[in-house]
Amino acid sequence: MTLAVLSSCALTGIEAPPVRVEVHLGSGLPAFTVVGLADTEVRESRERVRAALLSSGFEFPAGRLTVNLAPADLPKESGRFDLPIAIGVLLASGQIAMPSLMQRKPDASGPPMLERLVLAGELSLTGALVPIAGALAIALSVSRRRPDAALLLPVDSARQAAQVPGLRVLGATTLQDVVAGLEEKLDLGVAAPPASARGPELLCLSEVRGQAQARRALEVAAAGGHNMLLAGPPGSGKSMLAQRLPGLLPPLDRDSALEAAAIAGLAGGAPPAFGLRPFRAPHHSISSAALVGGGTRPRPGEITFAHLGVLFLDELPEFGRHVLDMLREPMETGHVAIARAMHRTTYPARFQLVAAMNPCKCGWRGSNVRACTCTPDQVAAYRSRISGPLLDRIDLQVDVPAPGDDWTELPAGEPSTAIRPRIAAALAAQHRRQGCCNALLPTRGIDEHCQPDEAARALWKDAMRRFAWSARAAHRVLKIARTLADLEAAPDIGVAHMAEAIQYRRPLAER
Ligand SMILES: [Zn+2]
């Protein structure tokens, strides 16, 4: 055989579009060319493939080798094409004997094995297979596109990929093992690591003493998927509250847990505990590319790593204003699109935002612990760093006062395990009624599902005039009132629900 064709895949966003790897060995002066809009890393792959073949005891064929990665217009990065290229070279030069895989077995149905095999893996110079980033995203994408495919990956990556139910996954540690597997001398099957018997450790809300209003607001945020802003002096427990939101939310179902793990795997790091909702807390010095994603070769940002979980932005006014403004669109759409010259990459970014801020630059305004040293102008300037449109998108805005001296004497609060069933019931009711949580209800849905009774409507209209709310802000109050009613399993929004909802929406400057 002088032409070998193998299947591999690229990775754009969390999708893995197919890439055909064609390897042709012709006569002529020795040469090794890779074509198909391959970037630097793919060109470097030539050197790794050559060294890996020689270190593994194979011959590097003398002749004119041409590798084509198709389709040409798909951006291809990373070393994951090393493995299919190396196998292609071995096939084209007749160094693998695998008749049973090359042809349809008389008794077997379906296409021959090699046509169903999708290979990806980087090679070290010694011929060892190096784990690839995004193995689980690749596996999910391949299983959706080609349920009959078998995926062959470096063994560590293969164990992650094997979590996808129904997909046949093979793993190997060296190029020699891959060849032995293809020649049916070695079984390359792998199994997913057993799920940890013990559930992930979740932080409990009972550890937050006092702060009854903030604890209540956190429960409301969890019960309706609402974004929230906590304003209070240093040491009042804003971070502690935020860290406890993932533990109040219902655990991820299997599909969502796989999606979250696939996204975590894009960074190449260790996956988080399976089923645990992500919690991301980037520092305020973060760049816009690191927060929302970007770079010349698009990379997901913190908002994508927070997908299906919580994004915590502490000291919100200290973030760059243009960085914060880039959050607005993903907060509406649930995804982020990164456009580059030829290509557009989309990442999911459906996160729940918890932001925290001090009441002023020095942090002590309104406190009876220490005096604020800010001038009124400084206070105004500090607060104006958060744009109105961003504040409009934050449903709940809550004061977290400094704890009094007696906070150690306060009884422990209600534990998360007691609160979680109320939240799960409220969210389930919302999904039954309208197919989404209250925070994501579109305007049309608000008109249909968030009708207050007469007294509540009068209160709402009065507050709208008094606080000069935008239409968006007024709608958000209706959604919070709906969540408060859902927490009580009340069919209608009453005046008590509306009064409490308005409390979460008073302008910060009034406090
Ligand atoms: Zn101050």
Q: Taking the CA of residue 122 as centre, how many other CA atoms within 13 Å lie in the half-sphere pointing to its CB?
A: 17
Average per-residue pLDDT in the chain? 87
Banded model confidence at residue 98, pLDDT cuts 50, 70, 90: low
Identify whether residues 173 and 236 lie together within a single domain. no
Say yes or no to pLDDT of 73 above 80.
Answer: no
Say yes or no to pLDDT of 199 above 70.
Answer: no
> How many domains, the chain?
2
| Dist CA 473 CA 506 (whole Å) | 10
Q: Among 54-58, 263-267, 500-504, where is mean pLDDT lowest?
A: 263-267
| Across 401-419, average pLDDT | 80
Say yes or no to pLDDT of 159 above 60.
Answer: yes
Strand bridging mode 352-357 / 310-313: parallel
Looking at residue 53, its amino acid is: L
Q: pLDDT for 212-234, tens place per residue?
A: 889 999 999 999 999 999 998 88
Say yes or no to pLDDT of 111 above 50.
Answer: no
Residues of the chain with pLDDT > 70: what percent? 91
Q: pLDDT for 428-451, tens place per residue?
A: 999 999 999 999 999 899 989 999
| Beta-bridge mates of residue 229 | 355, 397
Q: Can you tell me which residue has the tokens 């046949």?
A: 168
Identify whether residues 289 and 388 lie together within a single domain. yes
Give the contacts of 198 (CB within 8 A, at least 6 positions apart).
Answer: none
Q: Among 260-274, 300-314, 328-342, where is mean pLDDT lowest?
A: 260-274
Question: Residue 467 domain-assigned?
Answer: no
Domain boundary residue among 398, 415, 440? 440
| Dist CA 456 CA 464 (whole Å) | 12
Do residues 233 and 364 lie in contact, with contact meaning Cβ atoms separated by under 8 Å?
A: yes
Question: Residue 257 domain-assigned?
Answer: yes
Residues of the chain with pLDDT > 90: what percent? 52
CA–centroid distance, 126 to ligand 1, in Å, is 61
CA–centroid distance, 324 to ligand 1, in Å, is 23
Which of residues 352 and 199 earns the better pLDDT score?
Answer: 352
Which of residues 339 and 240 earns the better pLDDT score?
Answer: 240
CA–centroid distance, 362 to ligand 1, in Å, is 4
Looking at residue 345, its amino acid is: T
Identify whether residues 278 and 355 lie together within a single domain. yes
CA–centroid distance, 231 to ligand 1, in Å, is 13
Identify whether residues 265 and 385 lie together within a single domain. yes
Identify whether residues 218 and 317 lie together within a single domain. yes
Which CATH number characterizes residue 109's domain?
3.30.230.10
pLDDT at 197 (0 to 100):
45
Question: Residue 469 domain-assigned?
Answer: no
Instruction: For residue 433, give both structure tokens.
Output: 């009624």
Which of residues 226 and 203 earns the better pLDDT score?
Answer: 226
CA–centroid distance, 428 to ligand 1, in Å, is 42
pLDDT at 351 (0 to 100):
96
Question: Residue 146 domain-assigned?
Answer: yes
CA–centroid distance, 233 to ligand 1, in Å, is 9
Identify whether residues 209 and 94 lie together within a single domain. no
pLDDT at 54 (0 to 100):
95
Looking at residue 154, its amino acid is: P
Query: Smallest Cα–Cα separation from 238: which of 67, 358, 89, 97?
Result: 358
Question: Residue 449 domain-assigned?
Answer: no
- What is the three-state SS of 404-447? CHHHHHCCCCCCHHHHHHHHHHHHHHHHHHHCCCHHHCCHHHHH
Q: pLDDT for 12-68, tens place per residue?
A: 888 999 999 999 999 888 888 888 756 677 778 889 999 999 999 999 998 999 999
Give the contacts of 169 (CB within 8 A, at least 6 positions apart).
Answer: 139, 150, 151, 152, 153, 158, 161, 162, 189, 190
| Dist CA 47 CA 32 (whole Å) | 9
Say yes or no to pLDDT of 271 above 70.
Answer: no
- What is the three-state SS of 455-499? HHHHHHHHHHHHHCCCHHHHHHHHHHHHHHHHHCCCCCECHHHHH
Strand bridging mode 396-399 / 228-231: parallel
Sign of CA dihedral 230, 234, 239, 241: negative
CA–centroid distance, 329 to ligand 1, in Å, is 32
Identify whether residues 79 and 209 lie together within a single domain. no
- In the structure, ligand 1 is a single-atom ion and the residues with CB under 5 Å from it are 360, 362, 365, 372, 374
CA–centroid distance, 221 to ligand 1, in Å, is 28
Q: Among 3-7, 265-269, 458-462, where is mean pLDDT lowest?
A: 265-269
Which of residues 265 and 422 earns the better pLDDT score?
Answer: 422
Identify whether residues 219 and 169 lie together within a single domain. no
CA–centroid distance, 215 to ligand 1, in Å, is 25
Identify whether residues 230 and 370 lie together within a single domain. yes
CA–centroid distance, 219 to ligand 1, in Å, is 29
| Across 93-110, average pLDDT | 59
| Dist CA 239 CA 246 (whole Å) | 13
| Dist CA 45 CA 84 (whole Å) | 11
Banded model confidence at residue 137, pLDDT cuts 50, 70, 90: very high
Say yes or no to pLDDT of 102 above 60.
Answer: no
| Beta-bridge mates of residue 123 | 129
Do residues 10 and 19 lie in contact, with contact meaning Cβ atoms separated by under 8 Å?
A: yes
| Dist CA 161 CA 9 (whole Å) | 14
CA–centroid distance, 288 to ligand 1, in Å, is 28
Q: Among 85-89, 321-325, 405-409, 487-491, where is mean pLDDT lowest?
A: 405-409
Question: Residue 506 domain-assigned?
Answer: no
Identify whether residues 86 and 230 lie together within a single domain. no
pLDDT at 170 (0 to 100):
93
**Which structural domain, as residue segments, surrounds residue 27?**
3-182
Q: Among 158-162, 180-184, 317-321, 429-433, where is mean pLDDT lowest?
A: 180-184
Which CATH number characterizes residue 336's domain?
3.40.50.300
Residues, the chain, total?
511
Do residues 488 and 448 lie in contact, with contact meaning Cβ atoms separated by under 8 Å?
A: no
CA–centroid distance, 410 to ligand 1, in Å, is 28
Question: Residue 484 domain-assigned?
Answer: no
Which of residues 410 and 333 earns the better pLDDT score?
Answer: 333
| Dist CA 210 CA 409 (whole Å) | 10
Identify whether residues 173 and 218 lie together within a single domain. no
Which of residues 72 and 479 earns the better pLDDT score?
Answer: 479
| Beta-bridge mates of residue 9 | 18
Q: Taking the CA of residue 320 as centre, how many other CA atoms within 13 Å lie in the half-sphere pointing to its CB?
A: 12
Do residues 424 and 467 lie in contact, with contact meaning Cβ atoms separated by under 8 Å?
A: no
| Dist CA 182 CA 464 (whole Å) | 70
CA–centroid distance, 371 to ligand 1, in Å, is 8
CA–centroid distance, 314 to ligand 1, in Å, is 17
| Dist CA 470 CA 505 (whole Å) | 12
Say yes or no to pLDDT of 108 above 50.
Answer: no
Q: What are phi and psi of 334, to 5 degrees?
A: 80, 10
Banded model confidence at residue 507, pLDDT cuts 50, 70, 90: low
Banded model confidence at residue 367, pLDDT cuts 50, 70, 90: confident
Instruction: For residue 156, give both structure tokens.
Output: 């560590």
In this structure, how many other beta carbons lie within 10 angstroms of the beta carbon of residue 214?
24
Question: Residue 475 domain-assigned?
Answer: no
| Three-point CA angle 244, 249, 255, nearest 5° | 130
To the nearest 10 degrees (0 to 180), the angle between helices 495-503 and 454-467 is 20
Identify whether residues 249 and 137 lie together within a single domain. no
CA–centroid distance, 374 to ligand 1, in Å, is 4
Q: What are phi and psi of 284, to 5 degrees?
A: -70, -10
| Dist CA 122 CA 128 (whole Å) | 9
pLDDT at 104 (0 to 100):
46
pLDDT at 208 (0 to 100):
85
CA–centroid distance, 373 to ligand 1, in Å, is 5
Q: Can you tell me which residue has the tokens 């040293």?
A: 373
Banded model confidence at residue 318, pLDDT cuts 50, 70, 90: very high
Instruction: For residue 297, give both structure tokens.
Output: 């070769």
CA–centroid distance, 285 to ligand 1, in Å, is 21
